Each structure stands twice: as structure tokens, then as C-alpha cells.
Amino acid sequence: MSEQNVSASAMVNVLIIDDETQIRKFLDIALRAQGYKVLQAVNGQQGLELLALQGADLVILDLGLPDLDGFDVLSELRSWSNAPVIVLSVRADEEEKVKLLDAGANDYVTKPFSVQELMARIRVLLRQAQHVVVESAVYDDGVLKVDFAHRQVFLNQQLISLTRKEYHLLNLLAQHKGQLITQPQILKELWGPTHQEDTHYLRILVAKLRGKLNDNAVHPKYIITEPGVGLRFLNSY
């Protein structure tokens, strides 16, 4: 793979949801060799939680999971995520393939599969999903800097690492500085319209983001909680 292609894929997160250790290990090695970042989940619930809290650009989903039916995971995932999904299955019949595509899968690979074929399908899906929103604004108060165009965040001139969901939340709040954003608005923006009761995800996400910004819930510099209502982003410097 060329250095340019590795560089392009280095910003791409792939989530593997599969209970088979050997399959996960095989996919992890193959994906990292192509420059992708890899997240791994051993069951459906863990996969959904990782996707909700960290986000992913593409999901590889095994149908035969120990805790949840693969169709149920796909249905739940599709209610709040647009990430492309490639389904892995030992069954190759056309009826199942049609059901999966109708349920929201983007592609279908039958085990055993060649790594070259899988990588080609991943590249196709990522090209199809690629939509670059260029934002010209930069938030900079001298301590915290958010470069919206390059999706980079600096604290005291040091680049800090945020998950995709953490950045999405910070971006949403910073783009509406001073405005109150309600919990339902935030949940809909981050996880879709069917998750407006899942405030526990938001609480975890806010706590993680505050930690990385050296913010304090009691004496906040940036993220103000309006109890029972929502969040507001302030610049106190």
C-alpha cells in the first residue's frame, strides 16, 4: 500500500464486532496493515456501546453473536448511526443477503473470505460515505483552540486526542457558543431521533470531554450544565 493511501486511512476508525478471537485477530492485523485504526468488541452490546461512545467510520459485524442476534444489532445501530456496515456470515443464501441489505447493511461477505476482497469492499464503502464538510471558523480563546476545518483541538497549544463522539459534542457546543442546547437536541444530533431518553450516554460523554479539557463540573470554564435542560458552552477566559 502506498504511503499516501496509508496516510488517508490513518484517520479512519473501523469497529469489529465478532466473538471469534481468531477472526478479530486476523481482521485487526489486516486492517492495521492498511493503516486503519481498529476498535474491537466481543459481543453486540459492547459493540453498540463502543460505537455510541467512540464512534466509527465503518463497522464489520458478525451475525453469530453470543448475546444479541446480528439482525437486532444492525437494527439498533441503524436507528442512530449512518456508519457503513459490512456483515460477516457463514450463510450465503440470497434470501438472507436481501434481508440484511433491507435491514440496513451496506455489504455482505461470506466466511471464509479473502482479505483482498474485504479491503476492496471497505474502500468502496468509505468512498461512498465520504462527505467533507469544510468549516472555515476556528474557535480560539488563547487557551482552548478548536480548528473546525481540520477537526483538531488544542489546549495550551498542545494537541489533545478526542474520540469522534467527544469531538462531535464539543463541535456542536462551540459552534453555538453561549446558546443553550437542550438534551433532546444533543441526543438527536449525536445518536439519532430514537435515543432521546438515553441520557446516560450523554452524561458519560460530557464527563470524559470535561476531563480532557481540564474543565470542572462545579466551577466550569467551558461546559455549563443547566440541570434537567441541557448544556451551554461558555468562554470564561
Predicted local confidence at residue 7, as pLDDT: 45
Where b means 16+ CB within 10 Å and e means fewer, 51-87 reads bbebbbbbbbbbbebeebebbebbebbbebbebbbbb
Domain annotation covers residue 149:
no
**Domain end among 129, 147, 178:** 129
Q: Is residue 174 part of a domain?
A: yes
Q: What is the CATH number for 196? A: 1.10.10.10
User: Does 158 reside within a domain?
Assistant: no
Query: CATH number, domain at 26?
Result: 3.40.50.2300
pLDDT of residue 184: 85
Q: Is residue 117 part of a domain?
A: yes
| 106 and 187 together in one domain | no
Cβ–Cβ contacts within 10 Å for residue 233, how many?
21
Torsion angle in degrees (nearest 10) through CA of 29, 31, 33, 38: -80
- Average per-residue pLDDT for the chain: 85
Q: Are residues 223 and 108 in the same domain?
A: no
**Residue type at 235?**
N
Statement to judge: residues 114 and 187 lie in one domain? no
Q: Could you tell me if 39 and 165 are in contact, meaning their C-beta atoms sit under 8 angstroms apart?
A: no
Provide the 3-class DSSP secondary structure of residue 112.
coil
pTM of the predicted structure, to 2 decimals? 0.62
- Parts of the chain with a pLDDT under 50: 1-7, 131-136
**What total number of domains does the chain contain?**
2
What is residue 73's predicted lDDT score, i.e. its pLDDT? 94
Identify whether 110 is part of a domain.
yes
**9 shares its domain with 97:** yes
Q: Does some domain include residue 144? A: no
H or E element in which residue 27 lies = helix 21-33
Residue 109 lies in a domain: yes
Amino acid 9: pLDDT: 59
Domain co-membership, 183 together with 100: no
Query: Distance (Å, rounded) from C-alpha 83 to C-alpha 42?
Result: 19
Question: Which of the listed residues 129, 155, 182 is the one where a domain comes to its end?
Answer: 129
Residues 169 and 121 in one domain: no
Q: What is the pLDDT of residue 2?
A: 47
Q: Output the pLDDT for position 6.
A: 47
Residue 150 lies in a domain: no
The residue range of the domain holding 98 is: 3-129
Whether residue 187 is found in the same domain as residue 123: no
Q: Where a domain ends, among 74, 102, 129?
A: 129
pLDDT for position 15: 97
**Cα(162)–Cα(11) distance, rounded to whole angstroms?**
12
Q: Do 229 and 78 meet the contact criterion of CB atoms below 8 Å apart?
A: no
